[in-house]
Structure 1
Amino acid sequence: MEVEDLISKKFNRLTSLIFAAVLLAGTLLPFQQASAQNDPLAINASAAILVEASTGKILYGKNIDEQLPIASMAKVMTEYLVLEAVNEGRLNWDQTYTPSNYVYRISQNRGLSNVPLREDGTYQARELFDAMAIYSANGAAIGLAEMVSGSETNFVKEMNEKAKELGLTQYKFVNATGLDNKDLLGVHPEGTDPDGENTVSARDMAILSSAIVTDFPEILETASTSRKVFREGTDDAIKMDNWNWMLPGLLFETEGVDGLKTGSTKSAGSSFTSTAERNGMRVVTVVMNAKDDKGSLHTPRFNETKKLLDYAYNNFTVEELFPQNYQDEAQTSVTVDKGKQKTVELETKTAYTMAVKRGEKENYQPKFQINEDKLNDNGDIAAPVEKGEALGYMTVEYTGGDTDYGFLSNSSDTQLVAKESVEKANWFVLSMRGVTGFFGGLWNNTVGAIKGLF
């Protein structure tokens, strides 16, 4: 009986452990499924982001801050610097260029995206820019870098400086093309890793792309060109089909798409930065290392981008959440130190507009924030205060149940300004306040003492 009892106890204990394990698995499984369900799109890429361009509101994000290879999407920065040079008069579109030996040799490699350039040829900046932006021509990109900065080495320094200026934080530019440095025939820019490659996070790629569309909207005239012939009417004529297959007349034609840049290398995979506009709302998308079952370098980026675009235009609209001159009842004023009036009322300088998911407008609450440099040690603003003076900013806080991805930056915040002027009080008013304060305090102390007797 003792042996049987021992076996029975062990069996019961084992049964209990198995039951607990089954119960635990059943408990954990729903959480695992819920975690997967938190991603409304299940984008098949290493990183992805969807942004409403006018406010920088992120509508969807996946792994957006990891620095990853970007391949030819690096040419967006090259395009930015070229357009900036033209805008500042440092480069003219009809300015001519004769390829260096380096550019000539790179341009002859048809294993890379290129338009072959003649070593003794003469090319205008405009046609090189078209070849780069439409056909991703690498030799043309380096040629433009030399035109703008004298050498690709100098140009790369400017690329990284501009990235910092634009607010990028996760980036490294090593050449003007997006090729791996090892593909540059041993003539990679000085000071860069011979095996280096351009890397940027999805967030920073979206910041850069939004910046070029905002600062130089003319980029879309070129980026939206589906087909063009390089050196048309000459023996060097080459048909250039845009690598962005979502443009009109191409394989993945999608409504509203008018840019921006593809990229694909072994390490970057199938990548694409797009921009589109429908019904007055422009969005920017980035997919990095998109994948499918076939391992293609071309089609996955367009399939995943279409998911992002459909999600944006089927679910979001740009709405005015709070009007110009808005005042929040709970945050209406701030104390003014040594002012004729003791407080000054706050209001928004402009309306607060943002891309909002349909049905979610009421789930955003205003939040007023006073600039720290405006406050003294007591948390007051010193008089005088001018009407319309910027005192802080208003942002919004999401109170709904969906994931809130935030913004690319704080550029969408609306300025808080003084509703009226508050002059500095003169010495007599300040003296009287001091006397009133003294006797008021004395009276309060006296009343307190008398109450204490009873």
Structure 2
Amino acid sequence: MLKKLKKLLLVLAASGLFLTGAAGFTQPAQAAVSSYQSQDLSLDVKAAIAIDASTGQVLYAKNANTARSIASMTKLVTVYLTLQAIKQGKLSWDTKVKPTKAIAKVSQNTEYSNVRLDSTQDYTVKQLYQATLIESANGAAMTLAKAVSGNQVAFVKKMRALLASWGIKDAKIYNACGLANGNLGSAGYPGVGKNVENEMSASDMATVCQKLLSDYPEVLNTTSITKLNFMAGSSTQQMTNWNWMLKGLNSYYSDLPVDGLKTGTTDKAGACFAGTVNKNGHRIITVVLGAKHANTQDASRFVQTAKLMHYVYNNYTVTTLKKGTSISGASTIKVPEGKSETSSVVIGKTTTIWVKKGAKLQTALTKTSVASPIKKGQKVASYGFSTSSGKLISLSGKKLTTTAVATADNGTANFFVRLWRSLFGK
């Protein structure tokens, strides 16, 4: 009896109102994934990653958390902020913008990808947006930055803040287009060297792509366009998409219906490509950095991207756990002070899991007990996923999880019931 009284005193000390609950399980912070399944596929690139577009599950990674020059893939951040400004009502597709003389000068340099702009002429946001994504027009991207923030420096600050809000801490961003700072003349970022370029890791670039596709999926309506005319006054320039994996262009694969997203090329970056494809109803995002670029006709980045995409679709099977699914062996959670000492839980949202062929999916709750009261539909825990061949990880490097929700209300038991349980265990 003395032991039981001691146990009771401990219970009372733990909660002044006798309302105790189990501590939540917290996963330790982990670094973004660097390499994953890289031994299974040899890619001739400096860095690469493949993820599920919805969940962020990492399907392949090679040197994925090392920051490298990203060149014109920068423009995906510029496009995100443009679409955000339109959504917020700060801009419209018909908003007209004049490029500065410095921007016009960049746009007229035939060494770079561009549509020719004139500092005395207005261009609509829609024109500039299309030119940025299709022709990878540097002057157009810089003019979008002017439309959103008024000047290039203010826009760069906005870009940095956006990336930081997504947990991207090691990015180096100096301009809206991805050229080396010295190539921008008087429009370059002040106080830094002429050779500095925007840098992000493959993992960070995948995060940018995932956020863009999640928040503004309509971007694919433009990134999938192969050719389009840029009309300004009496002049017309035909734009051709630099993503040669689109249907009708010279790196198209009939079994890979690629519909985005963005290339990038500088001498420092090499050939880069952030791609996306939706096959059999399952969309993935791939990023390759530092592919070979012997000349302007070199398709190495697309060859390596195709290898990566084929690897994913050929070596994984997809399991879809629908919302409301009960997981055998992980269908209940303890509620020590609930009216019922357990609550039934189910998958809280439909989740897609990629599993290497031959491996078995394993699912477990990330904690064993929760505090009462509980409401039906309330998130009470998470399901963590692994396989018989290893762990499944997300872009953050943490274990892949999804929500577990209660199927019914479970209030708190009265004091005497809880006292009885503390003394006698029932």
**Which residues in structure 2 correspond to 1:336-375 (within 5 Å)?**
336-337=336-337, 339-360=338-359, 363-370=360-367
- Relative to structure 1, is the Cα distance of residues 262 and 433 closer, same or farther in structure 2, using a 3 angstrom cutoff? closer
Residues 1:322 and 1:223: Cα distance change in structure 2 (over 3 Å):
closer
Identify if the C-alpha distance between structure 1 residues 317 and 343 changes in structure 2 by more than 3 Å, giving closer, same or farther: closer
Q: 1:408 — aligned with what?
A: 395
Alignment of 1:141-180 (within 5 A): 141-180=141-180
Other-structure match for 1:268: 269
Secondary structure of the residue aligned to 1:220 is helix
Change (3 A) 1:87 1:322: closer
Q: Which has the higher contact order (CA 8 A, sep 6+)?
A: 2
Gaps spanning 5+ residues in structure 2: where? 1-36
Provide the rounded CA distance (Å) in 2 between the counterparts of 1:330 and 1:416. 10
Equivalent position of 1:299 in the other structure: 299
Q: Offset of 1:411 from its aligned partner?
A: 10
Q: Give the equivalent residue in structure 2 for 1:34.
A: none
> Is 1:53 paired with 2:40?
no
Counterpart CA distance in 2 for 1:216 and 1:66 is 27
- Residue 286 of structure 1 aligns to a residue whose secondary structure is strand
1:346 partner SS:
strand
Q: Give the alignment of 1:127-142 within 5 angstroms.
A: 127-142=127-142
Look up the match of 2:29: none
1:25-40 matches, cutoff 5 A: 39-40=39-40
2: distance between equivalents of 1:380 and 1:219?
43
Q: Tell me the equivalent position of 2:126.
A: 126
- C-alpha distance in structure 1 between counterparts of 2:110 and 2:313, whole Å: 39
In the aligned structure 1, how far is the partner of 2:299 from the partner of 2:386? 38
TM-superposed deviation, 1:424: 2.2
Question: What letter corresponds to residue 365 of structure 1 in structure 2?
Answer: Q
SS at match of 1:329: coil
Pick from 368, 374, 393 the counterpart of residue 382 of structure 2.
393
**1:282 counterpart letter in structure 2:** R
Shift of the 165–298 alpha-carbon distance from structure 1 to 2, 3 Å rule, reads: farther
Return closer, same or farther for 1:50/1:382 CA change in 2, 3 Å cut-off: closer
Report the counterpart of residue 228 of structure 2 in structure 1: 228
Question: In the alignment, residue 208 of structure 1 is paired with which amino acid?
Answer: V
Indicate if the aligned counterparts of 2:160 and 2:173 stay in contact, CA closer than 8 A: yes
**CA distance in structure 1 between the partners assigned to 2:332 and 2:295 by the alignment:** 58
Looking at structure 2, the residues matched to 214 and 257 of structure 1 have their Cα atoms a distance apart, in angstroms, of: 17
Verify the 8 A CA contact 1:317 1:358 in the aligned structure 2: yes
Normalised TM-score (structure 2):
0.83
Decide which moves more: 67-76 or 272-281.
272-281
Paired letter, 1:301:
R
The 2-side partners of 1:422 and 1:248 are apart by 55
| Structure 2 residue aligned with 1:79 | 79
State how far apart, in whole Å, the 2-side matches of 1:358 and 1:394 are: 21
Distance 1:245 1:330, change over 3 A: closer
Aligned residue type for 1:87? K
CA gap of 1:365–1:131, structure 2 versus 1, over 3 A, is same
Counterpart position of 1:20: none
Residue 252 of structure 2 corresponds to 253
Q: Secondary structure at the match of 1:171?
A: coil
Q: Is the 8 A contact 1:106 1:139 kept in 2?
A: yes
In terms of fraction of residues, the more helix-rich structure is: 1
Shift of 1:40: 2.3
Distance apart, 1:307 and its partner CA: 0.6
* Structure 2 contact 331–346 (Cα < 8 Å) conserved: no
Unpaired runs of 5+ in structure 1? Answer: 1-36, 371-378, 442-454
How many residues align? The count is 387
**Aligned partners of 2:38 and 2:203: how far apart in 1?**
20
Whole-Å separation in 2 of the counterparts to 1:230 and 1:433:
75
Cα RMSD after superposing both structures: 2.6
Corresponding residue to 1:429 among 417, 421, 425: 417
SS class of match (2:336): strand
Compute the displacement of 1:328 (Å): 4.3
Is this contact kept in 1: 2:51–2:59, CA < 8 A?
yes
- 2:270 corresponds to 1:281: no
The TM-score, its normalising length taken from structure 1, stands at 0.78
Which deviations, in whole Å up to 9, do the C-alpha atoms of 1:136-180 show, x marking residues without a partner? 111111111000011111111111111122232431211000001
In structure 2, relative to structure 1, the CA distance for the partners of 1:421 and 1:193 (3 Å cut) is: farther
Q: Which amino acid aligns with 2:365?
A: F
Q: What SS does the corresponding residue of 1:154 show, helix, strand or coil?
A: helix
What is the deviation of 1:124? 0.8
Deviations 1:360-403 (CA, angstroms, capped at 9, x unpaired): 3xx22112113xxxxxxxx96333222332111001112227xx
The residue that corresponds to 1:102 in the other structure is: 102
Q: Which has the larger radius of gyration?
A: 1
Classify the secondary structure of the residue corresponding to 2:275: strand
Deviations 1:115-146 (A, max 9, x none): 11112111111111111111011111111100
Deviation of 1:309 (Å): 1.8
